[in-house]
Structure 1
Amino acid sequence: MNNIGKGSRHLSTHIDRTVNDVYTYASDPANLPAWARGLGESIAKIEDDWVAGFSPMGRVVITFAPRNELGVLDHDVTLPSGETVYNPVRVIASGARSEVVFTLRRRPEMSDAEFERDAAMVDADLARLKKLMESG
């Protein structure tokens, strides 16, 4: 089934913390296992790469956008197959709070069920980030 053109989905959560607080925490790759479990249970810096261990997808390499003042948390995930998936993520102001927006892009080979599974994983990751940030 060819799903090209079936689009993207924007998933978001509002967090009762400042943009700076959320961006500082979420942009630190060492914090990923605490909130982005879809990427893996652990992460390590190996030479110039961040490598997620025990990922549901196998060994993946994660490359992050450089730290910036715009709240851009984009990252590429290179899968064991060698395919690289680009993940746009933004932390934006919402009054005194923050909104984290993850754009989930549907890959051409994805079934409806796979896309929904990925969306549920991202929603769970965003909920964990919200809980961690609001409890700390």
Structure 2
Amino acid sequence: MTAHAFDPDAEFVTPPLYTLRLTAAQRCVLDWIERHGGLFAAISLPVDDVARDVDHSESTVYEALARLVTLGLLVRDEVGSYRINARYVLSSNPELRRLVAAALVDPPITPDTRAGEPRKVSNADARRRRTIRSV
């Protein structure tokens, strides 16, 4: 059984945003979450603050969140916080996608025997070790 080679361009592909037919409210909510740290961590969404910032009603924000979660652009955890799907971020940033792909296929970093040795105490100790003494 052969394992398939990891191809980031095939694994991290998402449909372009324009094909998803997002409404203005959905784009605004997605942008609000991105600006408030939702790319890298799950954040709680105070719907009244989001509605005020994006200039939409609270019901429109709830509908936008529901559609974004249904599409998979947002990931909702059990606490009720939201974060942007990492596949969406990687599909829109090819340089980052290549970096992640390299990290997945590169060998792990393992310490050797020299890494386990104690560090030198001072420069004077290092000079003493290099001194040639007569016998």
Q: Which band: TM-score by shorter chain?
A: under 0.3
More helix by share: 2
Using the size of structure 2 for normalisation, the TM-score is 0.25
Using the size of structure 1 for normalisation, the TM-score is 0.25
Structure with greater Cα Rg: 2
More strand by share: 1
Higher relative contact order (CA 8 A, sep 6+): 1
